[in-house]
């Protein structure tokens, strides 16, 4: 029972981690960055990026921790 719940939570954390990584904005603006105004670029987008970073790292820690626990067989 506990092993199957951990497996489902592991899969859910993996899917959520993929989604959170895909939500990140690309680091390089390319030629489009030349036309963007510098002042508006670092206000709310920066806090959203920081929040996404925290969520991604937390999901990564959960995913890796559960991967270790499930592969070691500690829940049998």
pLDDT tens digit sequence for 16-66: 999 999 998 887 655 555 555 555 545 577 888 899 999 999 999 999 999
Query: What are the angstrom distances between the C-alpha of 15 and each of 6, 8, 19, 21, 47?
Result: 14, 11, 6, 10, 23
Residue 58: predicted pLDDT = 97
Query: Is the per-residue pLDDT at 15 higher than 90?
Result: yes
Query: Is the per-residue pLDDT at 14 higher than 90?
Result: yes
Residue 32: predicted pLDDT = 58
């Amino acid at each position: 029972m506990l092993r199957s719940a951990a497996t489902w939570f592991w899969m859910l954390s993996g899917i959520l981690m993929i989604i959170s990584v895909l939500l990140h904005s690309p680091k390089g603006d390319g030629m489009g960055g030349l036309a963007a105004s510098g002042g508006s670029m670092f206000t709310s987008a920066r806090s959203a990026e920081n929040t996404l970073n925290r969520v991604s790292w937390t999901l990564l820690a959960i995913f890796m921790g559960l991967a270790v626990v499930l592969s070691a067989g500690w829940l049998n």
